Amino acid sequence: MNLAVIGSGYVGLVTGTCFAEMGNKVICVDNDNEKLRKLNEGIVPIYEPGLGILFNRNIEKKRLLFSDDLKTSVMNSEIIFLCLPTPQGEDGSADLQHVFRVANDIGKILREESSTNIKIIVNKSTVPVGTARKTTEILQNHGVKNFEVVSNPEFLREGFAVEDFMKPDRIVVGAKSQNVFEKMRELYEPFVRQGNPIFEMDPESSEVTKYASNSYLAMRITFMNELANFCEVVGANVDNVRKAMGSDTRIGKRFLFPGIGYGGSCFPKDVNALIKTSQDYKSPMKILKVVDEVNKSQKLVIVSKILNHFKNNISGKKFAVWGLSFKPNTDDMREAPSIVIIKELAKLGAKISAYDPAAIDNARFYLNDILHYAIDQYDALKEAEALLILTEWNEFRNPDFELVKKLLKTNLIFDGRNVFEPEKMKELGFSYISIGRQSV
């Protein structure tokens, strides 16, 4: 098929590349000239494992193209995907200005289209319920007749986005007409050859599904974080509790790991958008307000542990940080707990030296020069009072512990992601403070 992908950010680039990998001819449209220059030179502007190989292969095969020509791209494509940013507004709602602006632009292009072939405009951006209807109204107001707006949310995990797209757990399609469902099924069938489902539903249900999925996972993480804090108070070990809980097939093992809160471009934004939408429809989801509040406070739990250990005086003390991105295998710093933690420590007079395998450049945008950016994980340790683990990158799981002890001023670790086992750290001679487990 001939496809257009409007927006070459994280979702758009992964979407376009993976569709091209299945033999479709894809043109990705963007209005950022610098980004287009990099893409056309074969430079992948985001960190995502496995993406570069597919990206370069499909550019070489001329199945993946990049352009700023919206009109030609729309006219030559059967299906047009909107992969546009929907940032959180000041009131918590999703800002849809980019989606509606492009919808207006497409309306102006298609109003003179005389072809009998239907144009399928697909919202892959994360948008509130009712957006497909509003997008339809925009196109109708421009006099566009032979089209349908479809909701087709993405369920990509950063760090696993290529795997998630190529082998999805499920595909969700919200549409109204059978011929559009058939066209979308034809597009996605190569991705679900092992039998994973394609759920066909109305656009409103599809839009809610995306927010419901992310908000539920955020709630699950938040429950475990609160449970971990409770376990510490009563002398329980949250790891033992987690493993026993996860053995119940009704609960399952995933998303039960406690830590310093969730971050990223999805969970915080989507939770707040669903809070706002539910309020707008006078059916408030009270539980999500608590989830958001608890998550914000959880980011400071490790700061409280540090202050408690140092008797509320950390002025002039140096701390090493391993991990800045909101999760491993990504360079995404949006809503990362590390931002809140480092800013709070700096405000209290501490000095920070930090290392991250991928997110250093993006971290500079959020943290500027309030810390030292180390060249590797051991460089960050030199003369530090303690090590703080804020992201659970694999390369941090089995370090040279003797070198760590040699470089730190004291053998003290604050582990915000429960990377190590307390008993092992005790045997190695460390003072070890983690989340939901007794300190050693």
Catalytic residue chosen out of the listed positions 18, 28, 83, 266: 266
E-only strand ranges, 142-195: 147-151, 171-174
Tokens of 350: 């501490």
DSSP code at position 125: S
At 401, which helix (H) or strand (E)?
helix 401-407
Is residue 53 within 8 Å of 87, Cβ to Cβ?
A: no
HEC letters along 196-210: CCEEEECHHHHHHHH
Torsion of CA 51, 53, 54, 57, to 10 degrees: 150
Q: How far apart are CA 211 and CA 352, in angstroms?
A: 36
**Hunting for tokens 């934004």 — which residue is that?**
269
Torsion of CA 25, 31, 35, 39, to 10 degrees: 20
Q: Are strands 64-67 and 198-201 parallel, antiparallel or unpaired?
A: unpaired
Is residue 413 within 8 Å of 439, Cβ to Cβ?
A: no
266 is an active site residue:
yes
Is residue 86 within 8 Å of 99, Cβ to Cβ?
A: yes
Q: Among all residues, which ones are annotated catalytic?
A: 266
